[in-house]
Amino acid sequence: MLLYAIIGLILIAFGLSLHVFKMYFLIKSYRRMSVERKADVDIEGMARFIGIVSYFDGALLLLVAILSALNIHVSSFAIVVVIGISIIFMLIYSLRYDAHYFEESGKLKKGALKSMLLPVTSGGVVIVIVAVVLLWTMQPLGVVLGDDALQIKGMYGGTYAYDQMEQLKYMDELPKISMRTNGAALGSHLKGHFQLEELGAVTLFINTNDRGYIYFEYEGKKIIFNQPLEELKKTYDELKVKLLP
């Protein structure tokens, strides 16, 4: 929730910086142009357009933050798709303000399409990478109960030998999270290192939409994970047997 709000405010501030305060140097490609090359760009129009797109994306993220605060679930992947499309649209359409690519009539100049491919492709690659990371983070938790160890697969996961696991317990409620120190918090999916008010530093592998949690300590570290309820209870029962002396 907080992350959405922060990014949303940053995007709106970026839009204002371009559109209202005319801080054109924030557009990296424009800043690197020669004086002669800048003369071909309608920078005021380009900045206004990029600012409007930034307002849209920022307002969307603020709306998502408000909905999350009201416990209304919003798909993180859907948000990435919408913002990704808006960014690609911005990358392509903003080039219409550059006379290097388009004539005054709006017609694409001969050979301009080839030179447009690099900035558009670069932006598309970044969006795809972000989407892949988000999908990976949001995958259902992989838990494997081996003969000698519990394995939690995926980002921040690890292997935990049964003979070194301590303080195993089932928790109905998760203590309040005070901050994220080094991890991924995408919607209801929390993976990585967090601070909890009652427990201090904890590694979480949870989906807050699923109720019920398994807690254990391993080599001085505190671990909490969960799964869909019925599967979680089965995992807990099997772990209790594995940890019997």
Identify the pLDDT of residue 188. Answer: 78
**What pLDDT, on the 0 to 100 scale, is given for residue 118?**
67
Q: Which residues of the chain are under the pLDDT cut of 50?
A: none
Domain extent listing, the chain:
2-137, 142-242
pLDDT at 55: 97
CA distances from 40 to 51, 77, 108, 173, 219 (A): 20, 38, 14, 60, 62
Of residues 40, 28, 82, the one with CA closest to residue 59: 82
195-212 per-position pLDDT tens digit:
999 999 999 999 988 989
Q: Please give the pLDDT value at position 3.
A: 72
* Threshold 0.75, pTM exceeds: no
**Which alpha helices (DSSP H) does the chain contain, by range?**
2-19, 28-31, 35-38, 43-69, 76-93, 112-137, 229-242
Q: pLDDT value at position 236?
A: 97
- Which pLDDT value is given to residue 30? 92
| Residue 207 one-letter amino acid | N
